Structure 1
Amino acid sequence: MSETAPSTQLVRRINASAMLKAMRGAGVLTGTDLMAGTGLSRATVISICDELVRLGWLRELENQRDAGDYVKGRPARRFVFDDRAASVLGIDIGANKITAIVADMAGAPLSQVTMPFRADNVPADERADVLDRLAARALADADVSADSVLAVSVGVAAPVSRDGEVLTVQEFWRSFDVRGIVSERHGWHVLLENDANLAALAERWLGVAQGVDHLVVMLAGDRLGSGVLESGRLLHGQLGGFGELGYLDQLDGVGDTHGIAHYAALWGREAVRDGAKTALRGLCGGDPGRLSAEMVFSAAGDGDAVAVGILDRVAHRMARVIGSLSTMTNPELVVIAGAVAESAGALLPAISRDLPQFTHTPPRVLASTLGEGIVSLGAVRHALDYVEENALDVYPASLGKGSSGRS
């Protein structure tokens, strides 16, 4: 008996999660629809529906028949998932800014707020205050209460263990316990995850990688980071370091983890300093220090030969990086994401051209369309996954039961 009860409860949680996934965004469904969508028996479907109705996840609709209609037997019970029953919060903590998205239980964003965020030489309490202001504004813009938040997921630019602990010796993370601070101040359940891993979740959920099970998503702006999915499952490794790219320091033709924006700007400044005949000089007003990656992409788009050459060098370097990752992980698709994604499309032909030099299994390479909010969108997906997996323990505040059921 000691083994049967926990086993039965686990199966029930798994079934409840499958039911919520089947109902989210599907509109009105009958028990028969849910049996077909989940493979569960009628008795299991109805039993779990009754429990999810009691907990506030589902609403049962009244069955109405037109006058004169005759249908043999009892009318089918109809259920609908309550998208606005609760909410989740996805947060991306970057080097210079922090973004939060509030979403309903269907994953639809209700608000998105970005604030400046200084990481260096700022006391932890001040960083926490920024998080508080951000969350408060995002919730106000979404017109939802703090009590409606069932889970918060936070993305950070550091390796994170399976248990949600940052695996780094950086003083910033040693002094800034994000999970503890947010949980203590608000009582929310807080998840922590690597930013590139969250980008991978977002891309497979809403981006160009929908339906792709073998996937690498690379945040490729100032620094390179990657999230890897195998058979649709996010990989962490023993300690959470899977996808970390420190080995690039030893890779010929690469040498470090700096990204596309870094090298586009660096090589552009070198060209201006060396006296190259290029439109880049005019764009930066003759001051190489003012030259940005955006200026290089713009000049290349206008046909400037020096800028075109720089982007070709950047693409060749990225082909080496993607080739090394592809040799190890063998993905179907690699997506270039982050702040540089909008411009990265210009690099794709050259990357695809050079990629076979560096791997026998070259993947498709695409640029993300999710923009700079990709990590916070992935955080929303991460929080929704947690809620779905724990639907019988973490549920809306309906019927006055929300506070007692949260974990």
Structure 2
Amino acid sequence: MSRAPQSGSSSGLLRRINTVGVLEFAWDHDVFTATEAMEAIGLTRSTVISRCAELIELGWMREVERVPEAAGKGRPARLYRLRADAGYVVGVDAGQHRVLATVCDLRGAEVGRQERPIDPEHDNAADRLALTDTTIEEALASGGVDPARVLAVAVGVPAQTDVDGASPPGQNKFWARMNPGFAAHFRERGWHTTVENDANLAAHAERALGAGRDARSFAALLSGERFGAGIVVDGALVRGSYGGAGEMRLLDYVVGVGSPHGIGYLARTWGREARESGDLPADSALATLPADAIDAPAVFAAAADGDTGAVAVVDRLADRLARVCAVIDGMLDVDRIVVAGGVAPVVGDLLRRTAVVLEGMVHPPAPELVASSFGADAVIVGASTLALEQVRTGALDFVPWGGAGE
């Protein structure tokens, strides 16, 4: 990826502003005419046409088949369109147990995807970096995308990250293993690179496309093996001085919680403990399931069928989750808490039970509790969306595929 030249003159600055305005219009529309653009942006026809010509030369746009402007009268109007294939962005969810990569065009359409499992007990930084490379390469290949056409990549990691995408060692050097120098590694390829905490990317997904779109302040609570919160307050993502905002290690000190273990972990653990205790009714689904088949979906499905053992687990989870939500609301005064991650599709009844408990713990109004619509894709959606937004925001700093300088 090459960088576009900059102009320092006042005329060059005005030209750049006008070019950006036309490109922004193109990004928000499918096919359009110069007339439509000039009316929306407030530029003259000649300016719009010249900016479109420049964007075509740069590789951002193309002129498409012309059509008559009105009932066959006059010269056919020129039609313009953003080139969705002018470049691609890569989103990566480099989680503790898997690496998932997606490739999207400039319209946000996914064209490639690959997922690979990873053993968190035996991997190391070098293995994790190599596996991420392989996963990205396979995702690009599945979409028929040349790596040279990648403009930006965003990587989500289960670790605290600073503004440059680096992570401190953390406890037992866990963070450094989860983030083995992704930022420097991908920047060496010439890709615009962002490395961000996974919960922050989930919050970005919810703010851009999900349950956070109409909420001024909300938290996206990743809730699988461990809790992690991406926090948006007054419309801005809260990161903290060192990127540690939303880290849930403080739950070690909260009465009735005691650890940052998430819903997926606790439902599985408590469901298996209930099975092994021998106190379940004979007809309990949890009692008849093999221990390794008891996970969060199994527990919630059994509770929905009226299994008293499973209901007891869900009630215990509701009390635990209510305490976690009360801590978040007490510190941040959010409108909404979005439960995200792989457990999101199955937590509807849990959230209803949690809301009842939460009302007795916080000053009204209690935050609304909702499940994310993205399921296990919350982080990857946030990564892809963020990478695309960064290309769009700084588009003229990139030279797209087929543009001048390629």
Whole-angstrom CA distance in 1 between matches of 2:167 and 2:263? 26
Q: Which amino acid aligns with 1:112?
A: R
Looking at structure 2, the residues matched to 66 and 174 of structure 1 have their Cα atoms a distance apart, in angstroms, of 59
Question: 120-129 or 58-67, which moves further after superposition?
Answer: 58-67
Aligned equivalent of 1:384: 388
The answer to whether the Cα contact below 8 Å between 1:264 and 1:310 also exists between their aligned partners in 2 is yes
How many angstroms does 1:343 deviate by? 1.0
Distance 1:311 1:150, change over 3 A: same
Report how far residue 8 of structure 1 moved.
8.5
Amino acid at match of 2:313: I
1:159 maps to what in 2?
Answer: 160
Letter in 1 for 2:133: D
Cα distance in 2, alignment partners of residues 277 and 362 from structure 1: 34
Segment drifting more, 133-142 vs 352-361: 352-361
Amino acid at match of 1:330: D
Q: Match of 1:381, as an amino acid?
A: T
Q: Which of 309, 312, 317 is matched with 2:315 structurally?
A: 312
Task: Decide whether aligned partners of structure 1 residues 316 and 11 sit closer, same or farther in structure 2, where only a CA change above 3 A counts.
Answer: farther
Structure 1: gaps spanning 5 or more residues: 403-407
Residue 153 of structure 1 contacts residue 382 of structure 1 at CA under 8 Å; is this kept in 2? yes
Q: 1:363 to 1:150 in 2, by over 3 A?
A: same
The 3 A distance-change label for structure 1 pair 87 and 67 is closer
1:102-132 CA-to-partner distances (Å, cap 9, x unmatched) read 1000111112211012344434333222122
Q: Does 1:65 align with 2:92?
A: no
Task: Give the aligned partner of residue 360 of structure 2.
Answer: 357
User: C-alpha distance in 2, partners of 1:116/1:328?
Assistant: 36
1:19–1:199 CA distance, 2 compared to 1 (3 A): farther
Q: Report the Cα distance in structure 1 between the residues aligned to 2:17 and 2:120, rounded to whole angstroms.
A: 40
- What's the CA shift string for 1:45-90, capped at 9, x where partnerless? 556544332221112346443898434xx87654211112111100
Matched residue, 1:194: 197
Retained in 2: the 8 A contact 1:220–1:259? yes
1:226 corresponds to which residue?
A: 229
Aligned residues: 393
Tell me the secondary structure at the aligned position of residue 403 of structure 2. helix
Which residue identity is paired with 2:173?
E
Provide TM-score, normalisation by structure 1: 0.86
CA distance 1:306–1:398, shift in 2 (3 Å): same
Matches within 5 A, 1:21-36: 21-24=24-27, 26-34=29-37
**1:85 & 1:70 partners in 2: Cα distance?**
34
C-alpha change, 1:365 and 1:69, in structure 2 (3 Å) is same
Scaled by the length of structure 2, the TM-score of the pair is 0.86
Cα 1:119/1:177, change in 2 over 3 Å: farther
Between stretches 18-27 and 390-399, larger displacement belongs to 18-27
Distance 1:124 1:251, change over 3 A: closer
Q: Matched residues in 1 for 2:57 and 2:288: separation?
A: 63
| Aligned pairs for 1:251-266 within 5 A | 251-266=254-269
Paired residues for 1:365-404 under 5 Å: 365-399=369-403, 401-402=405-406
Mark the CA change 1:335 to 1:21 in structure 2 (over 3 Å): closer, same or farther.
Answer: farther
Q: Which residue of 1 aligns with 2:123?
A: 122
Segments of structure 2 that go 5 or more residues without pairing to the other structure are 1-6
The 5-angstrom pairing of residues 87-126 of structure 1 reads: 87-126=88-127
CA apart distance, 1:161: 1.5
Segment of structure 1 superposing worse, 385-394 or 150-159: 385-394
Identity among equivalent positions (%) equals: 37
Give a deviation string over 1:125-178, Cα, whole Å, max 9, x none: 332221222111111111111111101110000111122222443535436212
The reply to whether residue 148 of structure 1 matches residue 153 of structure 2 is no
Match runs of 1:277-288 below 5 Å: 277-278=280-281, 279-285=284-290, 287=291
Q: Shift of residue 264 of structure 1?
A: 1.6
**Deviation of the 1:246 alpha carbon:** 2.1
Give me the CA root mean square deviation.
2.9
Q: CA contact under 8 A between 1:120 and 1:172: conserved in structure 2?
A: no
In the TM superposition, what is the alpha-carbon distance from 1:187 to its structure 2 partner?
Answer: 3.5
Contact 1:100–1:113, Cα closer than 8 Å, also in 2? yes
Which deviates the most, 255-264 or 23-32?
A: 23-32
1:282 CA drift (Å): 3.1
Change (3 A) 1:22 1:310: farther
User: Residue 178 in 1 paired to residue 179 in 2?
Assistant: no
CA distance in 1, matches of 2:11, 2:322: 50
Aligned 8 A contact 2:286 2:309 in 1: no
- SS state of the match for residue 395, structure 2? coil
Q: CA deviation at 1:272?
A: 2.6
Pick closer, same or farther for the CA change 1:62–1:165 going to 2, 3 Å.
Answer: same
